[in-house]
Amino acid sequence: MREGSLEAPTRHPLNWEDAEFYKEKPLHEEMERVFDICHGCRRCVNLCTAFPTLFDLIDESATMEVDGVAKEDYSKVVDKCYLCDMCYMSKCPYVPPHEWNVDFPHLMLRAKAQKFKNGQTKFRDKLLSSTDALGKLSAIPVVVQTINAVNTNKVTRSIMDKTLGIHKDRKLPKYAGKTFRSSMPIVSVGSSQDGQRTPGKVAVFVTCYVNYNEPNIGEDLFKVLEHNQVMAVAVQKEACCGMPKLELGDLEAVKNLKEKNIPQMVKYAQEGYAIMTSVPSCTLMFKQELPLLFPDDEDVQLVAKAMFDPFEYFVMRDRDGLLNTDFKESLGQVSYHVPCHLRVQNIGLKTKEMLERVPGTTVNKVERCSGHDGTWGVKKEYFADSMKIGRPVFRQMHEEAPKYISSDCAIAATHIVQGMEEKHDLSDVKKRHPITLLRIAYGL
C-alpha cells in the first residue's frame, strides 16, 4: 500500500438524506476507523484542538489505542472541530482517491448532524447561527443601540456569559443599524466588457455580515467594481448562505436556505455573470459545500461554477488586461491574514498578489488559522482555545510594524486585533478589509 496519494484530492458527496447517515453504530464504526488512522499518523496535531483532544483520549486510555476510548468521549473531539477543512486540504495524504478515504471534517459534520437530529444542540448555538434573524432584529432603530450597548457592557456580558454561554471577554462585532441594502444603490453601471477569464458583469451576494455589520465593505466592493467599469448588481432577496447552520449540523436548515438562494442566483449564472461575496466562508459554501450536499441539483452546480472570490476575480481581470491599475495611494506595510476558508478554495494567494500590485505596498502574509471560526470562538467553553490557536497569528501579524491589519474574513480580523491588543498598543494601526484597502489605493 502507498504511503500517501499522489493524485489530486477529490471529495465525495455527503449522503446526508440517507437514514444510515444518522445511525449511531455505523457512525461510531467509521469514527473508530478514521481515529485509528489519525492515531498512527498525527500530522494534524498542531492544526486545532480537535486532534490533541483525540490523541490525549487515546494516550490516557487503558489500552493506549483507539479501542480504549469510550464512545461517549468521541463527542469531545467533535465539539472541538469548527470545520475549517484545513486538515483535509492541507495535511492529509489519505484523502480520496486514496483507498483509506479519510475525510475528517465531513466525518465531524456527520457527527454534528446526528447530534442536531437527536435534539442535543444548545439553544445558544442555534441562536448564534441565526445570523439573518439576529441581523433583522438589529436593523430596527433603538434595538440596534440596545444590542450594541448590551454587547459592550460588562454587567450584561457577565449575565450573557452565565446564562447563554457567550464568553464575557469575546469582542462581538457591532451592528451597523443601517443595512447595506437599505443605504446603497444596488446597481453600479459599467461597460460589461467580458475578458477571456472574467465576465464583465458581477452579481454580488451581499452576505449577512456585510449587510448588518460592516456595510462599508459592500460599498467598497461596488465602488471598486464601478471604477473598473464592471457592471455590478446585488443578488435580490438573498438569505443566509447556510454556513453557520452547516457548522451546527442543521442540514435541513441548510437545504431551506439553499432553496431560497439558488433560484435567485442561478439566473445570474445563466446570464453569464460572475457571482462573488466578500466573505470567504459564504463563497466556499456556494463553491464547495452545497455542491457536495446536493450533487444532483444542476442549479447548485451552475452557481458553483460562476462563483469567484473577489480577489481571484481582480487578478484574473488584470490578466485579461481589463483592470484599472492607476493606483493613487500606497498602502505601506500591510499585515495580511489568509483565512482557512479562503485557503481551502485552492486559488492561491490572490489577495496578496493584488495588494502587492499597489506601488509602495509590502504585504506580510500570515497563513495560519486564527482560531475564531464564525461562532466557535465566541462560545464560553472554546474562547480560551480560540485565543491559544490564534497566538502565533497575533505574534506574526505584529511583526514588521504594520500600518494596516487585514484579513479577507472580517470576523477573523476583529479576533486578531483582540489578540494583538493583549500585548501591543495598536493605536497607530488600522484594521481594514482588503477590499477597503483596494478602494483606498485607488483614491476613491
What residues line the site for ligand SF4 (CB under 6 A)?
Answer: 37-38, 41-44, 47-48, 50, 81-87, 91-92, 94, 102, 104-105, 108
Beta strands in 123-279 (DSSP E): 187-188, 201-204, 231-234, 274-276
Least distance to ligand SF4, CB of residue 292, Å: 14
Least distance to ligand SF4, CB of residue 393, Å: 15
Helices of type H across 271-330: 280-284, 290-293, 298-306, 310-319
Max Cα distance, the chain (Å): 69
| Helix H or strand E encompassing 149 | helix 143-152
Residue 248 near residue 121 (C-beta atoms within 8 A): yes
| Helix H or strand E encompassing 203 | strand 201-204
3-state DSSP percent of the chain in helix, strand and coil, to 5: 55, 10, 40
Per DSSP, 367 falls in state: -
| Helix H or strand E encompassing 26 | helix 24-41
Distances (CA, A) of 371 to 79, 83, 155: 14, 11, 26
Least distance to ligand SF4, CB of residue 103, Å: 9
Least distance to ligand SF4, CB of residue 77, Å: 8
Least distance to ligand SF4, CB of residue 214, Å: 25
Amino acid residing at 265: M
Q: Which is nearer to ligand SF4, 84 or 276 (CB)?
A: 84
Q: Which is nearer to ligand SF4, 41 or 143 (CB)?
A: 41
Pick the closest to residue 82 from 109, 103, 62 (CA basis): 109
Q: How many residues does the chain have?
A: 444
Least distance to ligand SF4, CB of residue 295, Å: 21
Least distance to ligand SF4, CB of residue 164, Å: 23
Least distance to ligand SF4, CB of residue 244, Å: 15
Angle ∠(415,421,422) on CA atoms, nearest 5: 100
Q: Which is nearer to ligand SF4, 38 or 230 (CB)?
A: 38
Q: Which is nearer to ligand SF4, 87 or 293 (CB)?
A: 87
User: CB 177: neighbour CB atoms within 10 A?
Assistant: 19
Provide the angle, in degrees to the nearest 10, between the axes of the packed helices 24-41 and 50-59: 90
Q: Which is nearer to ligand SF4, 219 or 247 (CB)?
A: 247
Helices of type H across 168-212: 180-183, 208
Q: Which is nearer to ligand SF4, 92 or 266 (CB)?
A: 92
Q: Which is nearer to ligand SF4, 48 or 221 (CB)?
A: 48
Q: Which is nearer to ligand SF4, 201 or 341 (CB)?
A: 341
